[in-house]
């Protein structure tokens, strides 16, 4: 009997127990999907206050997240802590040993949240907040940990960069969804690219520090980076300028760093020079600060399709770098989903597991489109072959959450990932009370259209496509009233759904952000209705 079969059997037994006793509490859809979960009967009604045990030793961010939803006082007993804390010693054997792992137990008389480390404790709180979101809270045991290391986002698109407020909002979203990495690489920040040698002025430095502090509060590693390859002179002065810039960011509190060489060609795309530069920074900056966590490189040759455009030895040249330096990779092409074959090809070339830069749902090459469909196309088995996995989003920060939600779900537990169910849950979480209208709109914004990178998503407007496939040929021969009615109903549904979204858009950040697309969809629906009436 497989592990999954055992879990399913246990789940069935607990469900039957609930039915036998007349329990009415409802299981909560938890995202990302936990590794192990066993539901029981109703535990208690959702409390307004909690009595916390272990608060003095527990991770402060985890406690703050808990108290953001519940008052501290007389109420449900909640014990919180991490491995080694006296408060959670009774469940020490149940805490997963994996990094960021946690154990959650909900019972009628007590809730226990026990992390393997501070991040695990924080993630345990996030899961409990989902379990306790129902009016009636069920008993449950959850043992959980991430399958994929360094899961998150690389803000590396061309075009309008996210605002300060966008990024603050994103970090809270990442924390809720257990994404732990944010790589900073907006092409239009002059101190990232054009003025990479120059230190941030005081005001800008303060803003960067505030962003990093907020990211850390949500257990997100803010990876700050520069893009020097456009005009680096490969001399001591530029090497020293790099270290000086990184030292400024270190003094501001940053502990994760990256260097970008993407989208440069010719003499500036020299693998030997890149490797020497990376090793110089490693020796003269990274090694002098033992608390630095990540050091990442995005090479000039970052996808297989471009291997003929660079020195044949480029990947071999950078493979000799210090093995602790992560190397980013986009797959078989610039825009590609990741499979096992991708990883089997690249990992031996660079002498380490590649760190994925997934160019989805980014739209800087198909800017008139939104990508709002289910997150599909990556092979679950490939996640065991990476050192990290980040997604490049759209310039529309709030709209990007739809895909990032499911990306987080996929990376946490790839073997349990269901694209359709994850997408449905994402639409519900992002537009509660309007999820049906939102889904209708999203399904008309799935495909990328013709583009230079040739990635397509042909499952756009499925209800409309079904009608076209059913009636196009018969209607070419004769008028069919039932066909006209069916098309009118579909277009009317789109018109009404978008009217609902437009009405809500002034007060909703996501709907306000993508309002032009909603208006276009409303006009499409209205025109379709008028055409069928004609």
Q: Which residues touch 115 (CB under 8 Å, ≥6 apart)?
A: 59, 62, 81, 82, 83, 95, 100, 101, 102, 103, 121, 122, 123, 124
181 neighbors 150 (Cβ within 8 angstroms):
yes
CA-to-CA distance for 374 and 361, rounded, in angstroms?
A: 11
**Is 270 annotated as catalytic?**
no
Task: Using alpha carbons, list the distances in angstroms from residue 122 to 32, 63, 202, 217, 503.
Answer: 14, 8, 32, 10, 36
| Angle at alpha carbon of residue 490, lines to 488 and 492, rounded to 5° | 65
Provide DSSP, 351-413: TS--EEEE--S--TTSTT----S------GGGGGG-SEEEE---S-HHHHHHHHHHHHHHHH-
Angle (CA) 38-44-49 rounded to 5° is 120
- Phi then psi for residue 58, to 5 deg, are -70, 160
Return the structure tokens found at 179: 């994404």
Provide the total of helices (H) and of strands (E) in the chain, helices listed first: 16, 15
Around Cβ 237, how many Cβ atoms within 10 Å?
9
Give the Cβ contact number of residue 55 at 10 Å: 18
Distance from C-alpha of 43 to C-alpha of 25, rounded to nearest angstrom:
8
CA angle, 122 as apex, 359 and 39 as ends, to 5°?
95
Active-site residue, selected from the candidate residues 263, 322, 339, 364: 263
Please tell me the number of Cα atoms within 13 Å of 482 on its side-chain side: 4
Rg (the chain; Cα; Å): 25
State the Cα angle at 83 between 82 and 89, rounded to 5°: 100
Q: Helix 397-412 vs helix 419-430: angle between axes, to the nearest 10 degrees?
A: 140
CA distance 181 to 152: 5
Catalytic residue numbers read: 263
């Amino acid at each position: 009997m497989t592990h999954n079969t055992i879990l399913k059997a246990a789940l069935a037994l607990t469900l039957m127990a609930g039915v036998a006793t007349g329990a009415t509490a409802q299981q909560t859809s938890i995202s990302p999907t936990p590794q192990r979960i066993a539901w029981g009967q109703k535990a208690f009604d959702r409390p307004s206050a909690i009595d916390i045990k272990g608060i003095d030793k527990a991770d402060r961010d985890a406690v703050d997240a808990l108290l953001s939803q519940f008052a501290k006082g007389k109420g449900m007993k909640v014990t919180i802590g991490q491995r080694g804390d006296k408060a959670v010693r009774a469940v020490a054997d149940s805490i997963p040993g994996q990094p960021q792992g946690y154990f959650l137990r909900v019972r009628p008389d007590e809730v226990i949240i026990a992390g393997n480390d501070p991040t695990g404790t924080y993630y345990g709180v996030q899961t409990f907040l989902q379990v306790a979101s129902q009016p009636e809270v069920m008993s449950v045991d959850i043992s959980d940990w991430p399958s994929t290391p360094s899961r998150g986002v690389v803000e590396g698109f061309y075009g309008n960069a996210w605002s300060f407020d966008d990024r603050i909002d994103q970090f809270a979203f990442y924390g809720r969804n257990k994404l732990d990495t944010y790589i900073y690489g907006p092409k239009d920040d002059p101190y990232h690219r054009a003025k990479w040698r120059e230190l941030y002025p005081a005001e800008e430095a303060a803003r960067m520090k505030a962003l990093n502090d907020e990211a850390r509060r949500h257990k997100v590693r803010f990876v700050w980076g520069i893009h020097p390859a456009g005009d680096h002179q490969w001399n001591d002065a530029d090497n020293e300028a790099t270290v000086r810039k990184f030292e400024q960011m270190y003094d501001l509190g940053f502990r994760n760093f990256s260097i970008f060489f993407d989208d440069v060609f010719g003499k500036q795309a020299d693998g030997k020079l890149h490797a020497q530069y990376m090793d110089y920074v490693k020796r003269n900056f990274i090694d002098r600060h033992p608390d630095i966590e990540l050091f990442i490189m995005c090479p000039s040759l970052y996808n297989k399709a471009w291997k003929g455009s660079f020195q044949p030895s480029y990947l071999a040249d950078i493979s000799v770098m210090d093995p602790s330096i992560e190397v980013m990779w986009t797959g078989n092409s610039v825009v590609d989903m990741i499979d096992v074959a991708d990883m089997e090809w690249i990992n031996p070339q660079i002498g380490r597991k590649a760190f994925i830069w997934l160019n989805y749902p980014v739209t800087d090459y198909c800017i008139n489109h939104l990508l709002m469909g289910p997150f599909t196309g990556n092979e679950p088995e490939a996640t065991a072959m990476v050192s990290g996995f980040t997604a490049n989003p759209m310039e529309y920060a709030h709209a990007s959450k739809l895909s990032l939600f499911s990306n987080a779900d996929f990376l946490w537990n790839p073997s349990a990932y269901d694209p359709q169910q994850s997408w449905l849950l994402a639409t519900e979480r992002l537009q509660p009370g309007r999820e049906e209208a939102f889904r209708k709109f999203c399904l008309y914004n799935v495909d990328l259209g013709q583009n230079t990178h040739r990635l397509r998503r042909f499952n756009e407007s499925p209800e409309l496509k079904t009608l076209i496939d059913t009636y196009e040929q018969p209607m070419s021969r004769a008028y069919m009233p039932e066909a006209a009615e069916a098309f009118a109903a579909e277009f009317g549904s789109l018109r009404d759904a978008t009217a609902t979204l437009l009405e809500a858009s002034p007060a909703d950040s996501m709907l306000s952000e993508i309002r032009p697309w909603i208006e276009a969809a409303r006009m499409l629906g209205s025109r379709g209705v008028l055409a069928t009436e004609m």
